[in-house]
Amino acid sequence: MPKYDELMALQNLGQKYAYTDREVMRYAVGIGMGADPMDEKELAYVNEAAFSPRPLKVVPTFASVAAWGANPGEMNLNRLMVVDGERDITFHKQLPVAANITADSTVLGCWDKGKDKGAVIRHKTVLKDDKGEELATLVASRFARGDGGFGGPSEGQPEPHKVPTRAPDRSVDISTRPDQALVYRLCGDRNPLHSDPDFAKRAGFPRPILHGMCTYGLTCRGVLQTYADYDPAAFKQHAVRFSSPVYPGETVTMDLWKDGNVVSFEAKVKERGVTVIKSGRTVLA
């Protein structure tokens, strides 16, 4: 792993990507939309070929895979030990169904937890359309469990969003399929942690785990169906902290609180009594 000053100087501008409606629908299926073949509201995200033609909708968090692989530069992290920490996307415009886009990636901060305690790396990617107009700003943090001791600061990370202490205003259950990770990996993230039992065991898990970014998409679904009336244009920001992995086949329960145009949420897996998402925050239009 590079030294602190070298990490902070990393940037990668003008990365070129393109996607079509195929990738848009693949992502929606990857986060479980369309599981009910009679649910017209979800079918609008996975099927444009209706008897009565309708425009295909784009899940807001598709932005997380629209430029899959965009990054500030090589950090030489121990891949076996890297997990998602946080994800925060600000939506500047509604994503088109197909587009040629560019991605500008820079490092926002790096925190050194100690040689045996890992590191947190926070970076930003701005997606732009072919006219140079901003579509979305993605801020991600990764917890590199095997890469501490590089000389960075140990404190100063942004404070997490605090969810209300009152009882949830609404709760929803979102099911995942046993093969959910195998479907979602087709969106770009082919890390064997999500598909190879032996690799998962080497990383300290009893079996492959669901992608954190798939769980992120599940929480977008939860807000879409409760407070956004399945309107992707309603989303201005969607942010989470990952606190524990989901195993494919489990049911994720989201607790949601709405205060004005801000929806706070957390998510858990009841079967194991584990909270998997903390400090969730969606800003609606």
All residues at 6 or more sequence positions from 120 whose CB lies less than 8 Å from its CB, including other chains: 85, 110, 111, 113, 141, 142, 143, 144, 157
- Establish whether 255 is a catalytic residue: no
Residue 185 sits at the vertex; the CA angle it makes with 179 and 190, to the nearest 5 degrees, is 125
Q: Could you say which of 123, 194, 211, 238 is catalytic?
A: 194
Give the E-state strand segments of 24-133 in sequence order: 82-91, 99-112, 119-128
- Establish whether 130 is a catalytic residue: no
Q: Could you say which of 189, 211, 238, 255 is catalytic?
A: 189
**Cα 154 to Cα 4, 7, 72, 116, 145, distances in angstroms:** 12, 15, 21, 13, 14
The H or E element containing residue 212 is helix 212-226
Supply 91's token pair: 């939506």
109: number of CA atoms within 13 Å, CB side?
12
- 144 phi/psi in degrees, rounded to 5: -95, 95
The torsion angle over the Cα atoms of residues 173, 179, 183 and 185, rounded to 10 degrees, is 100
Active site residues: 189, 194
